[in-house]
Amino acid sequence: MLQVFDIIGPVMIGPSSSHTAGAVRIGMYARSILGKEPVKAHIRFSGSFAKTYKGHGTDKAVIAGILGMDTDDARIRISMDIAKEKGLDFTFEEADIDGAHPNTAEITLTDAEGNTALVQGASIGGGNIIINKINNTVVEINGKSDTLVIPHRDVPGMIAVVTNVLADKGVNIHGFSLCRDHKGGTAVMTIEIDGDINESVQDAILENEHIFSCTILKAI
Amino acid sequence: MFKYDSLADLVAAANQSNEPLSKIVLREQAEAAETTEDALYAAMAKSLTVMRESVQEGLDPDKRSASGLTGGDAFKMMRAVEENRNICGKIFGTAMTKALAVSQTNACMGKIVAAPTAGSCGILPSALLTIAESRNISDHDLIMALFTASAVGMVIANNASIAGAQGGCQAECGAASAMAAAALVEVCGGTPQMCEHACAIALKNILGLVCDPVAGLVEIPCIKRNAAGVANAFVAAELALAGIESAIPADEVIIAMKKIGDAMSSTLKETAEGGLAVTPTGKKLCEKVFGCCQ
Ligand code: SF4
């Protein structure tokens, strides 16, 4: 559902809402999914992003987001210098991602311990984004509300386990999706919720042995 | 709750409660976001402040964009108006000055409010800030009009697109122009119906406009299209306020815009592979910026 500030907004650093602000947001998402300070970033641009990223500063924007800057941060124009200072090793690649929206970026981040996170997102206009893929799982997250991303073993009863915790804590769900790689393999739940969510929910969910991790993605 | 999939429905709702579009939109949006009208209003007031600042920043005669391709045009237009050299009157001259200024601020990686996008960010602020000066319109009315403009933008986004990469420039400068036209009508005392007609007229005038930025940068032709976009918004608002109606309803114009955008070759949708971007001069400028043509 669109809101007024999706149309009049964001307040942002130019020059392009699709190529700058949207790209910052995809970078921010990748950062929060990794959950730690990244030391390495590999970015694949597809479609219009691949053709024009240099001219629009999309490269600077994605890096700024990965560093945790917001869309109205005046340092976006010097984000690459800041990344170098902080020791973030980044590379770009022009790619042709099958079936992807014209403004798509796929970001792979690595932290100091070698953990990686892969996030594919599209900038769909006016600075709005959709995250289509997290670590090889297809998702659809627009970043407008807090979202839980929960990879778990594909065994019966897992939805109930998680939703019971949420019900206990009085958290209202307004979006839910589930995807798995193969039967009995890894499945990922993405749950969009109303209002704020706190860490006690996370801890309660993580008590189940079949749950691999539970990430809270704050609305951006 | 409004679905924002029909301007006609919004106008009917406004008529039913005998209120301007801005009021019903503000009320509904506050409900939908589970917040107060005051909070939303305050956030919109901040956007108006950033809009004002972005006009000011863009009037600098010496500032050039990072690519070096553009800069200084808003100042030239401002001087022409100040010295009474411009040919279509103070309001048009001022509106064009402000539209150029905001667009230039954007090209220089300055702070702007996307409205609905950064490429088209000069149109709505220049329309409102210009009419405010000439008619002494209060900030309160301007802020409310931004809600009307948002509603128009939401319908366009839901039924067509507000991204140049999907719908061409009609989706960006066209949408901004339609939003500005509706906002102008409201601050000038027009009815919700007139807002709808102004929106339809503004969009019809810009249907089919392609997105063909030279070197892929939001500068050429974008900056001048903001000046044209605000002029178009004034044309549409003026016609609607005079009681002139659009023969094709706004909702149908928006669907037409969607179909035209779908039919457009991808070379004309922000890829810098068609239109002005591939003219001999366009290519030369691209080479100047990047050393080679992309
Ligand atoms: S030409 Fe393209 S990039 Fe420029 S304002 Fe229009 S839609 Fe935006």
- Looking at the structure, tell me whether residues A82 and A174 fall in a common domain: no
How many CB atoms sit inside 10 A of residue B208's CB?
Answer: 15
Q: Do B117 and A11 touch (CB under 8 A)?
A: no
Domain boundary among A134, A156, A191: A134
Q: Residue B272 is nearest to which of A5, A51, A124, comparing CB atoms?
A: A51
* Ligand 1 touching residue B58 (CB < 6 A): no
B2 within a domain of the structure (yes/no): no
- Give the orientation angle of helix B222-241 with respect to helix B192-204, to 10 degrees: 140
Q: Do B218 and A126 touch (CB under 8 A)?
A: no
Domain boundary among A102, A134, A166: A134
pLDDT at residue number A83: 97
CA neighbor of B260 nearest in space, from B168, B158, B178? B168
Mean pLDDT of A53-79: 90
Query: At B275, which CATH number?
Result: 1.10.4100
Confirm if A34 and A118 have CB atoms less than 8 A apart: no
Tell me: the pLDDT tens digits for B122-163? 999 999 999 999 999 999 999 999 999 999 999 999 999 998
Higher pLDDT residue, B1 or B46? B46
B98 within a domain of the structure (yes/no): yes
A109 within a domain of the structure (yes/no): yes
Q: What is the position in ligand 1's atom list of the atom closest to the CA of A16?
A: 3
pTM, two decimals, is 0.81
Domain that holds residue A122: 10-134
A4 within a domain of the structure (yes/no): no
Q: Do A48 and B294 touch (CB under 8 A)?
A: no
Which residues of chain B neighbour A81 with C-beta distances below 8 Å? none
Whether the predicted pLDDT of A130 surpasses 70: yes
- Looking at the structure, tell me whether residues A47 and A109 fall in a common domain: yes
pLDDT at residue number B284: 96
Query: At A100, which CATH number?
Result: 3.30.1330.90
Which residues of chain A neighbour B119 with C-beta distances below 8 Å? 15-17
Which residues of chain B neighbour A51 with C-beta distances below 8 Å? 216, 271-273, 294
Query: In the structure, what pLDDT confidence band is assigned to residue B279 with cuts at 50, 70 and 90?
Result: very high
A2 within a domain of the structure (yes/no): no
Query: In the structure, what pLDDT confidence band is assigned to residue A81 with cuts at 50, 70 and 90?
Result: very high
- Looking at the structure, tell me whether residues A177 and A110 fall in a common domain: no
Domain that holds residue B230: 7-289
pLDDT at residue number B293: 56
Query: In the structure, what pLDDT confidence band is assigned to residue B292 with cuts at 50, 70 and 90?
Result: low
Which residues of chain A neighbour B146 with C-beta distances below 8 Å? 4, 8
- Looking at the structure, tell me whether residues A96 and A159 fall in a common domain: no
Q: What is the position in ligand 1's atom list of the atom closest to the CA of B210?
A: 1
A36 within a domain of the structure (yes/no): yes
Q: Domain total for chain B?
A: 1
- Looking at the structure, tell me whether residues A175 and A213 fall in a common domain: yes
B241 within a domain of the structure (yes/no): yes
Query: In the structure, what pLDDT confidence band is assigned to residue B35 with cuts at 50, 70 and 90?
Result: very high
- DSSP structural state of residue B63: -
Q: Which residue of B has its CA nearest to A5?
A: B150
Q: Do A4 and B110 touch (CB under 8 A)?
A: no
- Looking at the structure, tell me whether residues A94 and A169 fall in a common domain: no
Tell me: the pLDDT tens digits for B58-96? 999 999 887 889 999 999 999 999 999 999 999 999 999
* Ligand 1 touching residue B172 (CB < 6 A): yes
Whole-number Cα distances in Å, B270 to A8, A92, A101, A138, B215: 21, 20, 13, 27, 10
